[in-house]
Amino acid sequence: MARFVPKEKLSKKAQKELNRQRRVTWDFSPVTRTADSRKVYNRKRNSRNRDDYGPGVFFAV
């Protein structure tokens, strides 16, 4: 069993590794996941929502 060593007495490399292990709790970074602005042009969003036929075809009299 490893003996307890205070964080202050660890080497900088060991402290970095310990901090890295403690930080990894998410599968993704919640900070970088932001909602896209609806005002900005997005080619994928616009092509996905496009309706080629339009309402005129279904309501033709």
Confidence at residue 40, expressed as pLDDT on a 0 to 100 scale: 83
List the chain pLDDT tens, one digit each, 61 residues. 788 889 999 999 999 998 888 886 667 777 777 787 888 887 777 665 566 665 555 555 5
Confidence at residue 44, expressed as pLDDT on a 0 to 100 scale: 75
Three-state SS across 8-59? HHCCHHHHHHHHHHHHCCCCCCCCCCCCCCCCCCCHHHHHHCCCCCCCCCCC
The pTM of this model reads: 0.37
